[in-house]
Chains A and B, each alone.
Chain A
Amino acid sequence: SQQGEEDPQALSIQEGENATMNCSYKTSINNLQWYRQNSGRGLVHLILIRSNEREKHSGRLRVTLDTSKKSSSLLITASRAADTASYFCATVGTGANNLFFGTGTRLTVIP
């Protein structure tokens, strides 16, 4: 299965702290994407990192990709209560047509 796995499954931090979520996958990829989901409904795309990239930034988000270890991490700096949500990594396999989603990390930021 190409499905990614996030670690940890749940994370609870204080507002202002940094949150780090990890994702591991099993096959070669074209790109890896991180999504956020509030209240079990629609997902919002956060960031896409291609297989030839190692790090990418977007605002308070930093994503790293290590293709040799088949892993990625999402760092949210200076967390806010509004960051409380589930975060999913999704991989696009080489030659694949669709995303394979991980099981998600539930982040709770305590005000």
Chain B
Amino acid sequence: GAGVSQSPSNKVTEKGKDVELRCDPISGHTALYWYRQSLGQGLEFLIYFQGNSAPDKSGLPSDRFSAERTGGSVSTLTIQRTQQEDSAVYLCASSKTSGRAVDTQYFGPGTRLTVL
């Protein structure tokens, strides 16, 4: 594809509900990242997938957050029992990285999540 795509672009949900955010990386990119950006803040790393290796989940803020990547391509970030502090823009990025050094990341447009 032309770039990283994410859906939905905006999601409004009620506190306590579960949400799923989707990311379609650039075809052929082996690495996929999820970040969270709260209003006016920098990006907070959440999780990293590299090929078929076990994901690096070190950035997930709580066990309500989980992510999976099916077939080495599409990824879904799930937030269970959403809280108001989960409101943020969730950004996905992919890169060609096949080694340890992180190369250029290509970002999607993000999903703006609002928890009422």
Contacts and interface: CB of A to CB of B under 8 A. Distances in A.
Contact of A101 (B42, B89, B100): B42
B50 A97 contact: yes
A92 B102 contact: yes
A44 interface: yes
B101 A92 contact: yes
B108 A42 contact: yes
Interface string A78-90: 0000000000101
A95 B89 contact: no
The A interface is mostly helix, strand or loop, or mixed, namely strand
Interface residues of A, number: 25
A7 B48 CA distance: 28
Nearest to A104: B42
Contact of B102 (A42, A44, A99, A104): A99
Given A96-B102, A98-B56, A102-B42, A41 B48 contact: no
B83 to A, nearest CB: 21
Interface string A17-33: 00000000000001101
Contacts of A44: 107
Interface in A38-55: 40-45, 48
Nearest to A43: B107
Interface residues of B, number: 28
Nearest to B56: A97
B43 interface: yes
A97 B102 contact: yes
Interface string B97-116: 00011111111111000000
A30 B102 contact: yes
A90 to B, nearest CB: 8
Nearest to B93: A43
B37 A97 contact: no
Contact of A41 (B44, B59, B109): B109
Contact of B43 (A45, A92, A95, A101): A101
Interface of A: 3, 30-31, 33, 35, 40-45, 48, 88, 90, 92, 95-104
Q: Which 5 A-B pairs have the closest CB atoms?
A: A101-B43, A92-B102, A42-B109, A43-B107, A103-B42
